[in-house]
Amino acid sequence: MFDYLIFMLALAVCGIFAGYANSKVNNAYAKYGQIRNYRGVTGADAASRLLWANGVTDIRIGHISGTLTDHYHPAQSIVNLSDSTYGSASVAAVAVAAHEIGHVMQNKKGFIFYHLRTALVPVVNIGTKLAMPLVLIGLLLDFFVAATANSDLGYYLAMFGVLLYGASFIFTVVTLPVELDASRRAKKMLVAEGILQDEEMDGAEEVLSAAALTYLASMFTSLVYFLRFMFYVMRMFGNRRDD
């Protein structure tokens, strides 16, 4: 019961932090989404200009519905900009568009964390599906095999399931430097191309910095769930062997 209370407390702290991060993003975007940039450059225009300035000619700019649903899809060679970004000439829209071009440049320049995150996607997808079945199979093996032989096969199988589950946490850890670097590249490109003026860059930085907090909150939350899962599995095996 005490362990469960600790878990719930940690989860509550993460929830408060996540709420704070989301509030920062919403407030920053609401504020700078209403401020038109001096040059009247839309998010789509900014994205196109930054691609051209960096010699990238094989990436299209797409338009998708929603707010802050912007993303770069490397397999389809397209940067999809949301309704709130594509045709908007606000400071926030340009900052978000530039951030997505930052991901394009990470891919083009071979940024190690970007490619590591991409490689982790199938591992995470498989891990979330196989983690619990592997733990259950491990428990069954530990019960039946250990009764007749001194074998740790079940334990090792369950721990492998735990590691697969932990891939989700590793994914969030790797995501943080990817997003921070994309924002760094975005700010650098916006200054280099003169899309935003110096006083407008403060607003762009506020929007991008607020977004980074959401990824930090996600990482902490994922860590709490991973530790809870790992300790729970270890305790199950400990209780099994004590019996």
| Catalytic residue annotation | 100
Answer for the pair 95, 204: CB distance below 8 angstroms, yes or no: yes
d(CA 236, CA 242): 10
Answer for the pair 97, 81: CB distance below 8 angstroms, yes or no: yes
Radius of gyration from C-alpha coordinates of the chain: 23
Using H for helix, E for strand and C for coil, what is the string for the chain? CHHHHHHHHHHHHHHHHHHHHHHHHHHHHHHHCCCECCCCCCHHHHHHHHHHHCCCCCCEEEECCCCCCCEEEHHHCEEEECHHHHCCCEHHHHHHHHHHHHHHHHHHHCCHHHHHHHHHHHHHHHHHHHHHHHHHHHHHHHHHHHCCCCCCHHHHHHHHHHHHHHHHHHHHHHHHHHHHHHHHHHHHHHHHCCCCCHHHHHHHHHHHHHHHHHHHHHHHHHHHHHHHHHHHHHHHHHHHHHC
- In degrees, rounded to 5, the angle at the alpha carbon of residue 197 between the alpha carbons of residues 103 and 85 is 45
